[in-house]
Structure formats: C-alpha cells, structure tokens
Structure 1
Amino acid sequence: MSKVFIVTGASRGIGFAIAQALIQASHKVFLVARTEKNLQELKTQHATSVDFITADLADWKVAPKVIESTVKAFGKIDGIVVNHGVLAPITKISESSVEEWRHAYDINVFSALALVKEAIPELRKSQGRVVFVSSGAAFGAYAGWGSYGTSKAALTHLSTHLAVEEPSIISVAVSPGKVDTDMQKQIRNDGKTGMAPEVYASFVDEYKNGQFLDPKQPGDVIAKLVEGATSDLSGKYFRWNAAELANFRAS
C-alpha cells in the first residue's frame, strides 16, 4: 500500500537518494530543498507521486506550509526524513561567532523541531515515523566542528524526546557515515584551517582512495526505516550499517 513521506534536503546527495528509493518503492513523496532543479526533475518523471516546495526551512514559517501542502497533495503523512543540515562554520570556538552558531542551530535543530512539531497531529493519525539524519560527530569531537557536532547531538536527543512523548510515533536517529556528498567536498575545500591537520588529511586521503560511501547505500537504509522501522528501534541512535539495522539493508 502506498504511503506518503516528506524528505528534506532532497535536491542532492543522501536526500535525493532517499527520495528515489521511496519513489521506486511506489510511495508518494513530498520533497523540500532550497534549490529546485532536481526536485522538478523528479516531479516531471513521477507526476502523480511527487510534489515539492523550494524553501529555506530555517525560516520557521515554512514548516506549516510543508505540512499543509503535503496533506493537500496526498491526503496524509506517514513519515518524515529530516535530512537537511549544514556543516559551516568549520571554525574553532575561539575564532567563531555566536551568530554563526545560531545560524547553524536554526538550520540543524530548530527548523527540524518546527517541522516535526507541525507534523505530530498527522503522524499520530498514521502512527507514522520520523527518521533524523544524525552524525557520528554528535558523539565525538573534531576541532572546528563544534557547531555541527553539538547541533547534531541536540537533533539526536530531540529524536529520543519525541519517542518518549509520542509513543504512537516511531522516531529513529541514524548516522549515514562518510558519504560522497557536497558536504564532504566542503570539508576538503574549507576545513584545512579550522581542523586538526591529521584529521583533515584523513578526510582527504579517504576521498582520494575511494573510501566514501555512495549516497544510495545509507539512503536506501533510511528509506526503509521511514517506511517500516519497528517500535523496538524508537528513541535510539544507530549507524546506518549497525547490526540492528541488518533487516533494512539490501542483502
């Protein structure tokens, strides 16, 4: 039976891969991103199962529009993948500004909170799911990654609180690992001055050696989780390839 999902940050990378996986599984998908190009491409290819809005979710007024537009287009909401986020500033605390951190939190935390809060009534009806795309940086620390790591930690804990407060909604946080995306390109381009030299070098070397994941690998797992995550996973954090998620990976 076809379900309805919202995917944020859907115009490229992991979000685009998630959207494609859900479409291929015959679901209806409402896409959100700041750039239109790939969203319109998917809409053109799958006119009856895709709709989208181009907007900056850091503007919290966008959240009600996303929920209203999804329900208007497809009649319900069965799940949300909160995938959007920013890494910048890649700067040590002593050299960063509070405003830079505030902007990162507006995107990585508060926009997610606004969207999920607006969706709760619909998700209660469907006994739906929310998958938050987290990061291993939520549990470790890289020099220069303070705003990103701490905001991803907050996002991960938001998932836990949602699970406690809304037992009918399954909520899971997932780290996709090191994926060949524009964010990794940003690390290579902008991270040299803010990161520890050996850590920066390790990211560059792994890219050169072809060790990064294809977005489709974690994307497929995340798509399967928002479609069918079980209640025993709710409130927990997992790496995309954790043993507990074996049933959600392609054999």
Structure 2
Amino acid sequence: MATHLITGAGSGIGAAVARRLHERGDDLLLLARDAARAKEIAAGLPGARTVVGDLANPDRLSWALSHQSLPDRLDSVLHVAGVVDLGAVADISVKTWRAQLDVNLLAPAELTRLVLPQLRISKGQVIFVNSGSGLNASPGWSAYAASKFGLKALADALRGEEKPNGVRVSTVYPGRTDSPMQEKVHQQEGKDYDGSRLIDPESVATAILTVLDLPRDASIDDMTVRPGQ
C-alpha cells in the first residue's frame, strides 16, 4: 500500500486527487495550514492522517514537521496547493510578490527537502502541479507566473539531482480548471465565472494518477493538460 503526502487537498485538483487515492486504498498524509483545517479536510477521508504546516511560512516548515510524526517512508509527495493574486508590475506590491513566491515555490522546495530521506527509501516520486502560467506569462500575471516558472526550474534541477537515488520528478501543467482559485481569478479579471467551460478537476486528477502510476521502467517528466473545447 502506497503512502502519499498531499498539499492542497482541501479543494479543487488536490481534493480530487486525494479522493481518488483514498478510494483505491492508499494511505494519505494531508498537509494543512492549521489544526482546524486539518480536521476539516480529513473529515471526508476516513483513515487519512494529517500534518500541520503553513505553506505561507516556508521558513517554519522544518520546525513544524519536527514536532509531528511522519512515516518512515513516502511513495510520493504531491504539491498541489497554490495561491494567485493578479496585478501589473507597475502596481503589485512586494508583499503580494512574496506571498506567491512563498506558497508556490519556496514551500514546495522546502517541503521536498524535508521529506527526501523518506522518498529515497521507497524510490518514490515528486509531482509538482504547476500551471500553464509556468510556461507562458501574460500581462497581469507576473508574480504568479514567476513563481511557477521557478517551480519548473526546481523540478528540472531536482530531477537530475535525485535520479541517482531512484526518485522520479514530474510536473503537470493544467490549464484553467474549475476551482475556487479560478473563481478568484475571474473576479480579478472582471469576468463572469462558468466552471462548466473549464477543465474538470477530475480530469486533471486522472492525468496526475497516470504520471504517478507509470511503471518504473519509464517516467513522464512533463505533462500539459488543456481544455478539450
């Protein structure tokens, strides 16, 4: 039975992935920002364990995890959590830049560093859920795209570093997906929100599980998921 550490399991893509893994009997370790949120996201996943650590404070993750019990081995860490706040370079504040860099880039880097010993034991896998903005930056998306371009660089470097240890590293780049984050984006863009016109989180979850379940004789380094219409 595989054990997976998942961030962002409370909604959207992360919730869909957690539900699918839970349904097939895998062990889940769900990262939440505080105890109340941990209880909330685990409520619908009986048997799932939680660990508390605030991705908005990556410099505190080491301290937080050192005071909690982690499994001796992990088969995967799935980085799904993310934040977005649009704005032109002329207007966006350092605080807004830093908030997105912390959650979208520095926290995944630090969390990966902290659990690499467990991943090496199992010759496991790191999957980063990136974004189309991690490949192309549009006006108004500078801070978010920069954090996601950085996440791509992190994945590419980590892949080469950990290949001798048998750890696979993959990135999935979803297009616009029906989720609370995308609702916020539409509000900031001044657009009406219609989730039916976006990718279903279940479709992205299927892509992630395809990457995760690929036999060990192969790897998918990068996968792009786009709307079908």
With the shorter chain as reference, the TM-score category is 0.7 to 0.9
Does 2:149 correspond to 1:153?
yes
Within 5 Å, give how 1:52-91 maps onto structure 2.
52-60=50-58, 61-63=60-62, 65-66=64-65, 69-71=69-71, 75-88=72-85, 90-91=86-87
User: Percent identity between the aligned chains?
Assistant: 26
Q: How many residues align?
A: 220
Moved more, 133-142 or 52-61: 52-61
Q: Please report the TM-score for the alignment, with normalisation by the length of structure 1.
A: 0.80
Contact 2:52 2:65 in 1 (8 A): no
Partner residue, 1:29: 28
Q: Is the 8 A contact 1:58 1:110 kept in 2?
A: no
Amino acid at match of 2:185: I
**CA deviation after TM superposition for structure 1 residue 138, in Å:** 1.3
Write out aligned runs for 1:9-158 (5 A): 9-34=8-33, 35-36=37-38, 38-42=40-44, 45-47=45-47, 50-60=48-58, 61-63=60-62, 65-66=64-65, 69-71=69-71, 75-88=72-85, 90-158=86-154
The correspondence of residues 177-196 of structure 1 with structure 2, limited to 5 A, is: 177-192=175-190
**SS in structure 1 at match of 2:197:** coil
Does residue 220 in structure 1 map to residue 227 in structure 2?
no
Q: Secondary structure at the match of 1:93?
A: coil
Work out which of the residue numbers 207, 210, 225 in structure 2 matches 1:240.
Answer: 225
Letter aligned with residue 137 of structure 1: S
Residue identity matched to 2:207: V
Any conservation in 1 of the 2:125–2:168 contact (CA below 8 Å)?
A: yes
In 1: Cα distance, 2:25 partner to 2:185 partner: 35
C-alpha separation in 2, matches of 1:132 and 1:175: 9
**How far apart are 1:54 and its partner, in Å?**
3.9
Question: What is the CA–CA distance in structure 1 between the aligned matches of 2:43 and 2:174, rounded to whole Å?
Answer: 25
The one-character-per-residue Cα deviations of 1:92-132 (angstroms, maximum 9, x if unpaired) are: 00011122212210111000010001111111111000000
The structure with the greater share of residues assigned to helix is 1
* Residue of structure 2 equivalent to 1:7: 6
Paired with 2:170 and 2:196, the residues of 1 have a C-alpha distance of 29
User: Counterpart of 2:136 in 1: which secondary structure?
Assistant: coil
Q: CA RMSD in A?
A: 2.2
Instruction: Work out whether residues 105 and 151 of structure 1, in 8 Å CA contact, stay in contact via their aligned partners in 2.
Output: yes
Amino acid at match of 2:50: F
After TM superposition, the score normalised by the length of structure 2 is 0.87
8 Å contact kept, 1:82–1:133: yes
Which blocks of at least 5 consecutive residues in structure 1 are unaligned? 193-200, 242-251
